[in-house]
């Protein structure tokens, strides 16, 4: 039960759910939540390989960097989403297709 394969399957399921969310959501913030699911799936893989590869801590450091990148990405993406909302009065990503109004 508690083996490497179990964690890899969980990460694969989370990754697929995240891809589904990114592809089917209209709302920009919901797309962002799908991206967070994908990044978390990658993190689970890194830490699982770190444990079953003989407790090698490089995987932990890599997962730490991914979390930092996710924080930066969320901050910039939400600033962009709020700008889109101010300009177009919607955050539907299908309608925000022009660079300039």
Partner 1 sequence: MSEFVFLVVTSVTIISALGVVLSNQLIYSAISLLFTLFGIAGLYVFLWADFMTGIQLLVYVGGILTLIIFGIMLTNKISSARLSQTNMQQGIGSVVSLWLLIVLSLVISKTNWYSVSSSEPVSTVDKIGTLLMTKHLLAFEGISLLLLGALIGAAILARKEI
**Would you tell me which residues interact with partner 1 (CB under 8 A)?**
1-10, 12-21, 23-27, 29-30, 32-34, 36-37, 40, 43-44, 47-48, 50-55, 57-58, 60-61, 63-65, 67-76, 78-83, 85, 90-91, 94
CB of 7 to partner 1, least distance (A): 7
**Locus of tokens 């508690």:** 2
Q: Which is nearer to partner 1, 44 or 98 (CB)?
A: 44
Q: State the nearest-atom distance from the C-beta of 58 to partner 1, in Å.
A: 7
DSSP letters, 81-97, are HHHHHHHHS--BTTT--
Q: Which helix (H) or strand (E) holds 57?
A: none
Query: Rounded to an integer, what distance in angstroms lies between the CA atom of residue 51 and that of residue 39?
Result: 19
Q: Which is nearer to partner 1, 47 or 99 (CB)?
A: 47
Cα 68 from Cα 13, distance rounded (Å) = 23
């Amino acid at each position: 039960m508690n083996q490497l394969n179990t964690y890899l399957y969980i990460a694969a399921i989370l990754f697929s759910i995240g891809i589904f969310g990114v592809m089917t959501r209209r709302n920009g913030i919901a797309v962002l939540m799908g991206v967070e699911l994908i990044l978390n799936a990658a993190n689970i893989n890194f830490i699982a390989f770190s444990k079953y590869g003989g407790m090698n801590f490089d995987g932990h450091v890599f997962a730490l960097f991914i979390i930092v990148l996710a924080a930066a990405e969320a901050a910039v993406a939400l600033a962009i989403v709020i700008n889109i909302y101010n300009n177009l009065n919607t955050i539907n990503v299908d309608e925000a297709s022009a660079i300039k109004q």
